[in-house]
């Protein structure tokens, strides 16, 4: 479901098979039409941080149990989004800045990061449950390239002491090869 006021954005979303609602995400009546009160997860990606705060507040009011992820442009506003009800934030200016800086010295690293972030082709970062036969073993010894272990909602990098042995209920973040359909 995509909510936007801009026709080109709505047309692009519709072309990808997504349902669209025309209107501002800052308005509770528009978010109700979009089904926000029943949503399990909500992504807020506005052009301005102040708008993101208002959309997040409105969405949180309508969906108190939903997982809300918000794109914030400036790191200094991240705490405002958290106070507004965001469960997770992505600081777009910092992420873009890091990639731009890396591209000047290691462009191949940036190409690989972009590949990992594109879920439809090449390689992708994925998450999966551990298999019974993996419990007690080291994530570094699996055939998958494991990047981290999620235990009780906390992410541990694969080189952290907490990730030395896989436990029941853990989830693994790993690199997955994506074959086009």
* Pair of tokens at residue 114: 């972009």
Q: What single DSSP character describes residue 131?
A: P
> Containing domain of residue 158, as a range?
118-178
Average pLDDT of the chain is: 93
Q: Say whether both 49 and 83 belong to one domain.
A: yes
Query: Which of these ranges, 5-9, 52-56, 96-100, has the smallest mean pLDDT?
Result: 96-100
Q: 42: domain CATH number?
A: 3.40.50.720
> Is residue 107 assigned to a domain?
no
CA dist., res. 170 & res. 164, Å (int): 12
> Is residue 108 assigned to a domain?
no
> Is residue 10 assigned to a domain?
yes
Split into its structural domains, the chain has a count of 2
> Is residue 157 assigned to a domain?
yes
Q: 160: domain CATH number?
A: 3.30.70.1450
Which comes out higher in pLDDT, residue 8 or 180?
Answer: 8
User: Is pLDDT at 179 greater than 80 in this prediction?
Assistant: no
Nearest to 163 by CA among 177, 148, 174: 148
Q: What's the Cα-to-Cα distance from 141 to each of 68, 87, 176, rounded to whole Å?
A: 34, 33, 16
* Pair of tokens at residue 72: 């914030």
Per residue in 94-144, pLDDT tens? 888 888 999 999 999 988 888 888 877 788 899 999 999 999 999 999 999
Q: Say whether both 82 and 14 belong to one domain.
A: yes
Q: What is the pLDDT of residue 122?
A: 84
Buried b (16+ CB within 10 A) or exposed e, 18-53: eebbeebbbeeebbeebebeebeebebebeebeebb
Q: Say whether both 86 and 143 belong to one domain.
A: no
> Is residue 99 assigned to a domain?
no
Rounded mean pLDDT of 85-101?
A: 89
* Pair of tokens at residue 155: 């992410």
Q: What is the pLDDT of residue 159?
A: 93
User: Is pLDDT at 12 greater than 70 in this prediction?
Assistant: yes
User: Is pLDDT at 167 greater than 90 in this prediction?
Assistant: yes
Q: What is the pLDDT of residue 35?
A: 96
> Is residue 136 assigned to a domain?
yes
Q: Say whether both 86 and 127 belong to one domain.
A: no
Q: Say whether both 126 and 82 belong to one domain.
A: no
Q: What is the pLDDT of residue 181?
A: 63
């Amino acid at each position: 479901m995509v909510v936007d006021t801009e026709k080109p954005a709505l047309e692009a979303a519709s072309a990808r098979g997504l349902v669209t609602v025309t209107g501002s995400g800052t308005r509770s009546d528009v978010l109700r039409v979009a089904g926000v009160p029943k949503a399990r997860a909500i992504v807020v990606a506005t052009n301005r941080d102040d708008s993101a705060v208002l959309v997040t507040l409105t969405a949180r009011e309508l969906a108190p149990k939903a997982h809300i992820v918000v794109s914030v442009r400036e790191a200094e506003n991240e705490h405002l989004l958290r106070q507004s009800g965001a469960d997770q934030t992505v600081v777009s200016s910092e992420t873009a800045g890091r990639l731009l800086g890396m591209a000047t010295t290691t462009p191949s690293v940036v190409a690989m990061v972009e590949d990992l972030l594109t879920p439809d082709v090449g390689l992708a970062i994925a998450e999966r449950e551990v298999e019974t036969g993996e419990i007690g073993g080291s994530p570094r010894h699996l055939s998958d390239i494991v990047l981290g272990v999620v235990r009780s909602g906390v992410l541990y990098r694969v080189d952290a002491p907490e990730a030395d042995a896989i436990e029941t209920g853990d989830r693994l973040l790993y690199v997955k090869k994506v074959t086009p359909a």
